[in-house]
Amino acid sequence: MVNFSVFNELSLPFEDTIGIDDKFITFIKLLNYLNRNNLQKMRIEKPFREYEITLGVSFYQFFGQIKNQTLQDRLREFLTNQVIKIETPLIKDNEDKSLENIVENNYFYNGNQNFGGLASGYIWNTLVVSFNSHENWNNDNVVI
């Protein structure tokens, strides 16, 4: 097992904003927990700022609409690597074997090919971190 977790990009965007503040705070608490338990890095396919939070709402738009000061503070800490060190991309240039595994093998989730966090977590036998944005991600294990 490696010393990092990976982010499941499929857990974004959220379907709606109901309870979204609590879901973000829970996500950040989970990352704090991982950091304290020797998974001090999380790999993400692209910078978090580039993800849509809800359909058609960018991270910057979402951040500008947050009324919860605690959430704003936690997100700032997250983006500046104060919660957990964030690394991009999922597979680094010097990790040829992992790149070969992801290219040579087919990884599917719900019938769709996956080259992202789910496949990377499987290859490295590490924890894949998801938002609880849909019932699919409210599971201890996801089968790919």
Overall number of domains in the chain:
1
Residue type, 25: I
Domain contains 69: yes
SS3 85: strand
| Domain housing 54 | 4-137
Chain segment 37-94, per-residue pLDDT in tens: 999 999 999 999 999 999 999 999 999 999 999 999 999 999 999 999 999 998 887 7
Residue 142 lies in a domain: no
- Three-state DSSP class for residue 99: helix
The predicted-structure confidence for 123-139, as pLDDT tens digits, reads as follows: 888 999 999 999 999 88
Look at residue 143 and tell me if it is in a domain.
no
Sequence-ordered list of residues with C-beta below 8 angstroms from that of 51, at least 6 positions apart, any chain: 9, 12, 13, 59
**144 found inside a domain:** no
Prediction pTM value: 0.90
Residue 33 half-sphere exposure toward CB, CA atoms < 13 A? 8
